[in-house]
Structure 1
Amino acid sequence: MPNPLLPGLQLQPLPYHDRLPVRDPSSLAMVVIHCTELPDLATAREYGERVLYDSGAGNSGHFYIDRDGSVVQYVAPERIAHHVRGMNADSVGIELVNSGRYPHWLDSRHQAMDEPYTEAQLLALERLLQALVLQYPSLRQIAGHDQLDLEQVPASDDPAVTVARKRDPGPLFPWQRILAKVPLQPLG
């Protein structure tokens, strides 16, 4: 049976999916764009499967978009995923596979995020966002993870220097292009 949200969407629920709290879909207000800051989708899956909380759940977005444009759903939008501190209850997390600062996330000498997003990823993101807005009309805003988690932390190479804990989706994310294609308002 094809998934009604998006043609080609691959459903691959995380092992703890059914432990995540259910929410009213009409409470969804924001989409948060992330990048995995990992080398590939398989590694992102491994990170997503790690249990980090007493509830038996871990950190994960709802949707992952690989470099080839394939879209995988790890968590249904009707469930609360752990993808951005303090903003999970009413948001949907979309992760784009991108190396970001990997593997030196907090090293002050490696803060560049210079891997461009692929055309296939961006087209898939546009289709997914359009489908989400149709399915969940309460979605009104879009933000990057870096806009919601502003914490500065000591750099791993020099604790006297601070770096952003989260920088994704990064400086190469084409906000103008995405905002022109979807009826979501930027945070602010």
Structure 2
Amino acid sequence: MSTEPSPCAPTVDPLPYEDRLDARPLGQIDLVVIHCTELPDLAMARHYGERILHASGTGNSGHYYIDRDGSVHVYVRPDRIAHHVRGYNPRSVGIELVNTGRYPDWLARGSQKMEEPYTGAQIASLTRLLAELRRELPSLRYIAGHEDLDTAREPASDDPTITVPRKMDPGPLFPWDAVLRATPLERLVP
């Protein structure tokens, strides 16, 4: 018998500070934000999520993580407001897809390409999760990429005379067309 998590059944493994995150009614959620971890693996994403970064004793994390094998992990339940996107946290659920993105030099001028494709298993699990969220969250109407909502630029870490995008996820290799065909959610691009 395999001990691998089933791609169909999420593994609920809340972050240690989940109960310190603000509670919210599920009816408040109308937006899903798609992210990529920009880290090499799920273990490192968990490590980053556990870091305490705020005076409240909480950190930055999505709600759901989808590993390359399609397994789904719940780090923050939707009835809590996770810190995953500036300005949209109270109304949104964050879904993180494990992908290296620009790791390890996120803001370096020469690291602004995202070359790892998302796996078929990840996208299949994402579409199943979106369908489940539509059933559980009656107000859910929109979907966006992190890059759609956080368009800030920052000085490049290796050349402060130029700026680079602060966030680029889920990035150019994310299959928006396929995902949007599989869900009735409307893409929100401010």
Shorter-chain TM-score bucket reads: over 0.9
The residue aligned with 1:55 is 56
Q: CA deviation at 1:162?
A: 0.3
The residue aligned with 2:100 is 99
Over the aligned positions, Cα root-mean-square deviation in angstroms equals 0.9
Query: Retained in 1: the 8 A contact 2:8–2:71?
Result: no
The residue aligned with 1:70 is 71
Which amino acid counterpart does residue 9 of structure 1 have in structure 2?
Answer: P
Q: CA deviation at 1:115?
A: 0.1
**In 1: Cα distance, 2:9 partner to 2:150 partner:** 32
SS at match of 1:160: strand
TM-score after normalising by structure 1: 0.96
User: What does 1:23-172 align with in structure 2 at a 5 Å threshold?
Assistant: 23-172=24-173
TM-superposition CA deviations, 1:128-154 (whole Å, max 9, x none) = 000001110201000000000010100
Q: CA deviation at 1:7?
A: 4.3
How many residue pairs get aligned? The number is: 183
Q: CA deviation at 1:183?
A: 1.2
Q: CA deviation at 1:169?
A: 0.1
Unaligned runs of 5+ in 1: 1-5
User: What does 1:167-178 align with in structure 2 at a 5 Å threshold?
Assistant: 167-178=168-179
**In 1: Cα distance, 2:99 partner to 2:27 partner:** 31
Which amino acid counterpart does residue 158 of structure 1 have in structure 2?
Answer: D
**In 2: Cα distance, 1:150 partner to 1:165 partner:** 7
The residue aligned with 1:3 is none
The residue aligned with 2:4 is none
TM-superposition CA deviations, 1:26-61 (whole Å, max 9, x none) = 010100000000000000000000000010000000
TM-superposition CA deviations, 1:5-41 (whole Å, max 9, x none) = x941100000000000100100101000000000000
Which amino acid counterpart does residue 16 of structure 2 have in structure 1?
Answer: P
**In 2: Cα distance, 1:178 partner to 1:137 partner:** 20
Identity of aligned residues (%): 62
**In 2: Cα distance, 1:178 partner to 1:143 partner:** 11
The residue aligned with 1:180 is 181
TM-score after normalising by structure 2: 0.95
The farther-off stretch of 117-126 and 6-15 is 6-15
**In 2: Cα distance, 1:47 partner to 1:7 partner:** 25
The residue aligned with 2:3 is none
